[in-house]
Amino acid sequence: MKNLTLKIHGQVQGVNFRFGVKQKADELGLVGWVRNDKGGCVSVVVEGEEDKLDELKEYCNEGPRLSMVEDMKEKGFFIKRLSFNKFEIKY
């Protein structure tokens, strides 16, 4: 298991971005969370198999239909196990 932190910038709030990320993470069997941050960006902390994390990164780089991702910052893969048991949207 590895984990990954993403910060996604652009038109990513108010366009169902968090819900799309949750749906994709659930589909891939990943655990962690997604939330809107101040300044209009979205943060994702996720844990799972590296190939599944790569798939989620691809999704986040595109986002749902109404979003427009301008930049995505990544904090690499870590082997440290986090304590998530599901993927959730933080409010």
Residues identified as active-site = 18, 36
Tell me how crowded residue 33 is: count the other CB atoms within 10 A of its CB.
18
Tell me how crowded residue 52 is: count the other CB atoms within 10 A of its CB.
18
Q: How far is 54 from 46, CA to CA, in rounded Å?
A: 11
Ordered alpha helix ranges (H), 1-91: 17-28, 50-62
Q: How far is 85 from 65, CA to CA, in rounded Å?
A: 28
